[in-house]
Amino acid sequence: MGRRSTTVFLVAAFAAGQTNLYGDLFAMRRDAMVRETIENRQVTDPATLRAMRAVERHRFVLPELIGNAYDDRPLPIGFGQTISQPYIVALMTELLQVNEDSVVLEIGAGSGYQAAVLAEIVNRVYTIEIVPELADLSANRMKELGYENVVVKEGDGYFGWEEHAPFDGIIVTAAATHIPPPLIEQLKPGGRLVIPVGPPMQVQNLMLIEKTEDGEIRQRSLMPVRFVPFTRR
Partner 1 sequence: MATPAHTNSAVRDALAVGLVSGCGIAYQITLMRIFSIVHWHHFAYLMISVAMLGFGASGTLLTLLRPWMAGRERQVLVGSMAGFAGAMPLAVLAGFAIPFETFHLVSDPRHIAYLFGLSLVLALPFLLCATAIATALIMHRERFGWLYGINMTGSACGAVAVIALLFLLPPAAIPIVLAVPALIATALAGGMAGRRLALSLGIAMVVLAAWATPRNLPVSEYKILSYLQQFPDFAEVARTQSPLSMIQAVTSSLLRETPGQLSNYPFREKGPLPPQAGLVMDAGSLSAVHQYDGDLARFAFMDYVTAALPYRLLDRPEVLVIGAGGGTDVLIALVGGARQITAVEIDPRVRPLLDGPLRHYSGGLFDRDDVDYRVAEGRGFLAASPRAYDLIQVALIDAFTAAAAGVFALSESYLYTREAVELYLRRLTPDGVLAITRWIKTPARDEIKLFATLVEALERTGIQEPGHHLAFIRSWNTATLLASRSPWTPEQIEAIRSFSRDRWFDISFLPGLAEHETNRYIALEEETYFLAAREIIHGDRDAFYRSYPFHVRPATDDKPHFFQFFRWRSLPVLVETLGWSWLPFMEWGYVTLLAAMVQGVVASAILILLPLALSRHRREGAGTRSGVFIYFGCLGLAFMFLEIAMIQKFMLFLAYPMYAVAVVLASFLLFAGLGSLAADRFLRPGPKVAGGAVAGLGTLAILYLLLLPPLFTSAATAWSDPAKVGLSVLLLAPLAFLMGMPFPSGMTWLGHHRPPLLPWAWAINGFTSVLGASLATFTAIHLGFRVLVLFAIALYLLAAISFFRMAGNDETIHPKFIALRKASIHRAG
Write the burial class of residue 160 (CB in 10 Å: 0-12 exposed, 13-18 middle, 19+ buried). buried
The continuous run of DSSP H or E covering 182 comes out as: helix 181-185
| Residue of 84, 102, 111, 138 with catalytic role | 84
Rounded CA separation 226/206 (Å): 9
Rounded CA separation 31/55 (Å): 11
Residues 156-195 as x/- pattern, contact with partner 1 by CB under 8 A: x-x------------------xxxxxx-xx----------
Nearest partner of 95 among 43, 46, 55, 54, judged by Cα: 43
Give the range of 19-27, 32-40, 161-169, 217-225 binding partner 1 by CB under 8 A.
217-225
| Cβ closest to partner 1, residue 40 vs residue 219 | 219
Quick check: 200 binds partner 1 (CB under 8 A)?
Answer: yes
Nearest partner of 195 among 166, 217, 218, 174, judged by Cα: 174
Rounded CA separation 118/89 (Å): 9
Among 8, 78, 136, 190, binds partner 1 (CB under 8 A): 78
| Cβ closest to partner 1, residue 132 vs residue 190 | 132
Give the range of 7-15, 90-98, 116-124, 126-134 binding partner 1 by CB under 8 A.
126-134
84 is catalytic: yes
Q: Identify how many contiguous H helices and E strands the chain contains and give both numbers.
A: 7, 9
Torsion of CA 177, 69, 39, 81, to 10 degrees: 0
Give the range of 6-14, 29-37, 106-114, 222-230 binding partner 1 by CB under 8 A.
222-230
Among 50, 59, 73, 153, binds partner 1 (CB under 8 A): 73
Kindly list the catalytic residues.
84
- Which residues of this chain interact with partner 1, rule CB under 8 A? 73-76, 78-80, 130-132, 156, 158, 177-182, 184-185, 197-205, 207, 209, 217-222, 224, 226, 228-229, 231-233
